[in-house]
Structure 1
Amino acid sequence: MIQSYKKHHDPLVIGIIFAIIFTIWAFSIATNQAFIRSFDQAIINIVYNNNKVNLQIARLLTNLGNTSTITIEAIIIFIALLTFKKYPLAFFEAGVMICGNACNWIIKNLVRRSRPSVQHLVHADGFSFPSGHSLGSMTLFGCLFVITLLLVKNKKTKIILNILWCLFPLIIGYTRIYLHVHYPSDVFGGWIEGLAFVLIGYAILLRSYVTKHPQKFY
């Protein structure tokens, strides 16, 4: 698949762009900009409803993004990659997950945004921005997207899997808004923060290993 690094858009450039967007977004939230409040209200008006079935489904699906769940899944993927001797991919995944979550913790404690004041429909504590569920799911499934892109040979299987990996963060982010535990801007921030780490990690992986050993990847 990767015949030449120059034939692909540089994920480092795109990752840096996302990092810049995230920085601007975080600053806008920290300084309580009016457009952030307008953004939140517009999305909330679309998402919120009192459907009991939706509530039950959201409560179930949001657990997929819990820190403990994401951590266990990340460890399992890491061990599986080590078992199959895919060492660069294993350390790519571990590095992205560790750096992303560490950065998220730092940003939360710098911005110190309170959670929505309405009644929470699931338990949630700590600061609101960025959404840890959104960051965790984006980094984990973003890594799976890259791993699938590099290792899966069958084109249809590759497409199906990567569509699934793209849907998971979107679904989990939606549940955090629906369950009243995050503002939409928290979720969006977690997504773009996660994308930045995945893309920068992917760029490092490409430059340090993949382009030097293209025969090992499809």
Structure 2
Amino acid sequence: MPAPDVSIPTNVTHPVVGHVNLMVDTFLANVDSDDLRPLVRRLLSSGLPGIAKTFGEVARGYYSSKGEECKPNYESLFRRGEQGAVVPTEDFNEALIHGRSLYGIGMGLAALEVLAFIVSATVGIRWREGDKLYGALVVLDSDITQAIQSCKEEKESGRIVDQTRMRKVVENLRSVLKESSEEVRSWDGAFPFDKAASSVQYWKI
């Protein structure tokens, strides 16, 4: 089946079709994700005018339509391992991936909501420095700092319209980090969110 005519009028600067041709769609439906990732990276680094910006806009629109405020399941982020220690679950990893996907396309504010939720879920849990859970939380700490930077850029670009929501998200992040710090101090543990706590402390909204 031939591809449809996708000629673009000279008076517009963006494609007027909202679909891909049959062969490309067949490829997208069957290609392995490990092969698709490098192809997308090559496309975005090709230097085609506006392609990276357009990709970001499309990605943000897609995630917004899915509901960016979806939260991970509170009770399933951690479980008791065979040795008795608490360990992160697959749901923890998926929540982390979701947060990374958001801040990676410039939706830092939405990412902070997800990542702060994970931090709040650690309240009441204990760990030892160097164990699996502690390592996962140190990684989470780095993700929060990157999401903060993404959120700052999102604000500077003018994409954050609801300033009240932003203040609530940031204040909630400060609150859950403070609660975690105080609790960890109470049982003389290793606080894994030092970088995030420092970043949010000096963040002027």
TM-score of the two chains, using structure 2 as the length reference: 0.35
Q: Which has the higher contact order (CA 8 A, sep 6+)?
A: 1
Instruction: Tell me which structure has the larger Cα radius of gyration.
Output: 2
Of Structure 1 and Structure 2, which has the larger fraction of its residues in helix?
1
